[in-house]
Structure 1
Amino acid sequence: MELIREKNGNLRILQLTDLHIGQLPFDNDDIRTFDHIKKVSNEYNPDLIVITGDLIWSEGIEKPGKSFEELIKVLNSLQKPITVTYGNHDTEENITRSDLRELEKKLDYKVNKKHSYIVEERESYCIELRDESQELLNVLYVIDSGAVDPLRIGTYEYVHPKQVNWFYDVSNFYKQEKSKKTEDLLFLHIPLPEYKDAWKNGQVYGYKYEEVSSPVLNTGLFTSLLLDKQVKGVFCGHDHDNDFDAIYHGIKLCFGRVSGFNCYGELSRGARIIELQSNESFKTYLI
């Protein structure tokens, strides 16, 4: 489905992350996660739901695809536009990202992906926000940040250089269409290396109860964002005990709030709201 944003109206995004739905039959923690998803969606009535990875457990799970299908049934019951990307735990065993993307087709309110690009099983794509006259107002970039570092230099995977090139090409394409600068957003699972610098040197709000689990290798996506001058907010998941946001060189780097009960973390389960506003700025807060 296509998303329409009123030219002089706000658009509300609900970011869920790290749901970690487990094995069938579901335990009480999984049921609590489902109830939490329904509660925050009903209470905050988002125009779009973005889930930034680790939707399910797969390691040690016999049929993770079945768990994912049950999660999809819950998401369909919300009757809200939705889009997803994947994390390091979604495809550890017995399922691939291609399998998950095939199951995504069962989402009743899935938002149309633009400029889809897949490298090494990881999909990058855009969501366009247009008004009733089809004028482009905002672009949401979604990048699959991978899982485990294949080079074993760090623990977690880096944004692939080909994904950085993809962003450079696609963002330049959109610049040709836009009539003015707007505040675009980017979503992924694993935090960029700059999150560490942002905590130390940025204008910070929120909590950091664990080390930022970003990749050791830096492939330059943040630099590309600075050069682009359109993306003003980055939203990740992954670290269950971090929920801070920090303005760093004019870009707001944000953690979501862990939303699943079947995983580690001392922070209370919640979500993040992002509101694109009529004055072309955005605000964000935790719930």
Structure 2
Amino acid sequence: MQLKYRPDGTFRIIQFTDTHIGNMPFHEEDERTFKLIEDALAYFDVDLIIHTGDIIWSEGVKDADIVFEKTMEYFDKAKIPMAITFGNHDTEEIITRSDLRRIFDQKVEVKAEKTHSMIVNDREAYCLEIFHSDKDQVAHAIYLIDSGAAAPLDIGTYDWVLPQQVAWFSETSANYRRGDRHKRHLVFQHIPLPEYWQAATKIIDGVNHETNDAISAPYINTGLFANMVIDGETWGMFVGHDHDNDFEGVYHDIHLVYGNVSGYQTYGAEERGVRIIELKEDDQSIKTYRVKANVFSR
């Protein structure tokens, strides 16, 4: 399904992250998460749903494939284009990323149209294109990058963006570059980049309340952020992963943003909710804000 600005020149994205749906029969906290999904999608008039991973628990979860499928049904009922990437908890045991992609492709009726898809080590990177309202020209490129799970070497805890994915971003972003250095493109993944440490010292909204590592980023830096800066037209990145962080910080004129944890059956003291990203066509401006569930719950 093609994504396009509305005739009034607006486009709105809703980001869910870290829903962490577990075993069936579903826990009462999972039922609360399903209600949050339904309430948010009924309350906000959005054009695109993006989930940035840890959609489900998979370790020790029987029939994780069915759990994933049933979780997707709650999003698909809204009939709004959806795109996803995965986190470190989605494929911990038998189920694989390719299994989940297949289920998503087969069972979700309203999917955003992918371009430039690349899969390496069963991790997909791809683009979405948002078009202008009155012409067949891309206004924004949305990059979704699977940031992996556990560190493959005994260096830190979490995986890093693969060098092949960094090269993919560098090559793919060239297709959308206009040379005007206007910040218009967005990146979504699950695990934060190491540069989120610097962004945490330059917060313009939100909180950095994580009590383990303040930023659970990989210890290896493979250069994605540098390529975002060099591109010159990337506005920022949206991640999940750290449930007690939901801030927006700015580092080297790149916005580094956390989604609001959306799932109840997982750790974290922050109130559950979603993040909204609003795009305006007339000036190509971008703004984002977090909304807690008590605002939109029915």
For 1:220, give the aligned amino acid: G
Partner-residue secondary structure (3-state), 1:78: coil
Partner-residue secondary structure (3-state), 1:175: coil
Superposed displacement of residue 8, structure 1: 6.0
Given candidates 228, 246, 250, the residue that maps to 2:249 is 246
Measured in 2, the distance between the counterparts of 1:82 and 1:69 equals 14
Paired position in structure 2 for 1:256: 259
Partner-residue secondary structure (3-state), 2:237: strand
Measured in 2, the distance between the counterparts of 1:81 and 1:108 equals 9
Paired position in structure 2 for 1:38: 38
Paired position in structure 2 for 1:107: 108
Measured in 2, the distance between the counterparts of 1:203 and 1:68 equals 34
Measured in 2, the distance between the counterparts of 1:179 and 1:246 equals 23
Superposed displacement of residue 179, structure 1: 8.6
Contact kept, 8 Å, 2:181 with 2:232, in 1: the verdict is no
Partner-residue secondary structure (3-state), 2:257: strand
For 1:226, give the aligned amino acid: V
Structure 1 residue 88 corresponds to structure 2 residue 88: yes
Contact kept, 8 Å, 1:54 with 1:87, in 2: the verdict is yes
Measured in 1, the distance between the counterparts of 2:79 and 2:120 equals 31
Paired position in structure 2 for 1:274: 277
Superposed displacement of residue 72, structure 1: 1.5
Measured in 2, the distance between the counterparts of 1:27 and 1:199 equals 34
Measured in 1, the distance between the counterparts of 2:47 and 2:195 equals 29
Structure 1 residue 73 corresponds to structure 2 residue 52: no
Contact kept, 8 Å, 2:52 with 2:86, in 1: the verdict is yes
Measured in 2, the distance between the counterparts of 1:180 and 1:243 equals 27
Measured in 1, the distance between the counterparts of 2:164 and 2:193 equals 16
Listed as ranges, the gaps of 5+ residues in structure 1 are: none
Measured in 2, the distance between the counterparts of 1:128 and 1:258 equals 26
Superposed displacement of residue 180, structure 1: 8.1
CA gap 1:179/1:231 in 2 versus in 1, 3 angstroms: closer
Paired position in structure 2 for 1:234: 237
Listed as ranges, the gaps of 5+ residues in structure 2 are: 292-298
Paired position in structure 2 for 1:171: 173
Superposed displacement of residue 152, structure 1: 1.8
Moved more, 19-28 or 181-190: 181-190
Structure 1 residue 214 corresponds to structure 2 residue 222: no
1:206-230 CA distance string (max 9 Å, x none): 1111111000000000000000011
Partner-residue secondary structure (3-state), 1:197: helix
1:78-134 CA distance string (max 9 Å, x none): 111110000000000120000000001111111111000011010000000112421
For 2:287, give the aligned amino acid: K
Structure 1 residue 284 corresponds to structure 2 residue 288: yes
Measured in 1, the distance between the counterparts of 2:180 and 2:119 equals 29
Measured in 2, the distance between the counterparts of 1:259 and 1:40 equals 10
Paired position in structure 2 for 1:9: 9
Measured in 1, the distance between the counterparts of 2:83 and 2:200 equals 28
Identity %: 46
Superposed displacement of residue 198, structure 1: 1.2
Paired position in structure 1 for 2:196: 195
CA gap 1:96/1:186 in 2 versus in 1, 3 angstroms: same
Measured in 1, the distance between the counterparts of 2:172 and 2:3 equals 19
Paired position in structure 2 for 1:124: 125
CA gap 1:54/1:250 in 2 versus in 1, 3 angstroms: same
TM-score (norm 2): 0.93
Measured in 2, the distance between the counterparts of 1:258 and 1:6 equals 28
Partner-residue secondary structure (3-state), 2:148: coil
For 2:114, give the aligned amino acid: K
Contact kept, 8 Å, 1:85 with 1:142, in 2: the verdict is yes
Measured in 1, the distance between the counterparts of 2:286 and 2:272 equals 23
After the TM superposition, which segments of 4 or more aligned residues of structure 1 sit over 3 Å from their partners?
A: 178-182
Contact kept, 8 Å, 2:87 with 2:241, in 1: the verdict is yes
Superposed displacement of residue 33, structure 1: 0.4
Moved more, 7-16 or 34-43: 7-16
